[in-house]
Chain A
Amino acid sequence: MKLVAGNIFGFWMFLVVAIFTLVLINYSKSGKINITLRKIAGLEAIEESIGRATEMGKPIHFSPGLGDIIGATAAETFAALEVLSYVTRMSAKYNAELVVTIRQPNVFPLAQESVKQQYMAAGKSDMFKEDTVRFLSNQQVAYTTGVVGFMHREKVAANIMAGLYMGEALLLAEAGAQIGAIQVAITASMTQLPFFVAACDYTIIGEELFAAGAYLSQDRIKLGGIAAQDYIKLAVMATAVAGALLMSSGSNFLNRLLVK
Chain B
Amino acid sequence: MRKEVPLVITFVVAIIVMLSAITTGPIPGTSIAISDLFRQHISPWMTIVSAFAVGLASVNLLRVHTRAIARKRNDWIYSVILIVTLAIYAGFRTYVELNLSNATAAANYALIFNNILTPLSAAMWALLAFYVASASYRAFRARSAEATVLLISAIVVMLGAAPVGALIWSRFPDVQRWLLEVPNMTGQRGILIGAAIGGFVTSLRVLLGMERGHLGSAD
Interface residues of A (CB under 8 A from B): 1-4, 7, 10-11, 17-18, 21-22, 25, 70, 74-76, 78-79, 81-82, 85, 102, 105-106, 108-114, 116-118, 120-121, 130-131, 133-136, 138-139, 141-142, 144-145, 153, 167-168, 170-171, 174, 188, 190, 194-195, 197-199, 205-207, 209-211, 213, 221-222, 225-226, 228-229, 232-233, 236
Assuming A25-B210, A114-B214, A141-B124, is B57 touching A18 (CB within 8 A)? no
Please determine whether B125 and A167 come into contact, CB atoms closer than 8 angstroms.
yes
Question: Could you say which residues of chain B place their CB within 8 Å of the CB of A195?
Answer: 135
Please determine whether A221 and B205 come into contact, CB atoms closer than 8 angstroms.
yes
Please determine whether B199 and A210 come into contact, CB atoms closer than 8 angstroms.
yes
Does B193 touch A at the CB level, under 8 Å? yes
Interface residues of B (CB under 8 A from A): 21-28, 33-34, 46, 50, 53-54, 56-58, 60-61, 63-64, 67, 75, 117, 120-121, 124-125, 127-128, 131-132, 134-135, 139-140, 150, 154, 188, 191-195, 197-206, 208, 210-211, 213-217
Question: Could you say which residues of chain A place their CB within 8 Å of the CB of B23?
Answer: 1-4
Assuming A70-B46, A210-B199, A210-B201, is B131 touching A174 (CB within 8 A)? yes
- Minimum distance in angstroms from A87 CB to a CB of chain B: 12
Please determine whether A145 and B197 come into contact, CB atoms closer than 8 angstroms.
no
| Chief secondary structure at chain B's binding surface | helix
| Chief secondary structure at chain A's binding surface | helix
Please determine whether B58 and A1 come into contact, CB atoms closer than 8 angstroms.
no
Please determine whether B75 and A153 come into contact, CB atoms closer than 8 angstroms.
yes
What are the nearest 6 A-B pairs in CB distance?
A: A210-B198, A75-B199, A207-B194, A135-B57, A198-B139, A110-B214
- Minimum distance in angstroms from A225 CB to a CB of chain B: 4
Q: Tell me the bound Cα distance from A223 to B195 in angstroms.
A: 16
Q: Tell me the bound Cα distance from A74 to B195 in angstroms.
A: 12
19 residue pairs bridging A and B, Cβ less than 8 Å apart:
A1-B25, A1-B28, A3-B22, A7-B22, A11-B22, A74-B199, A78-B211, A109-B53, A121-B217, A134-B61, A138-B54, A141-B121, A153-B75, A190-B191, A205-B191, A206-B191, A210-B202, A228-B201, A232-B200
Question: Could you say which residues of chain A place their CB within 8 Å of the CB of B121?
Answer: 139, 141-142
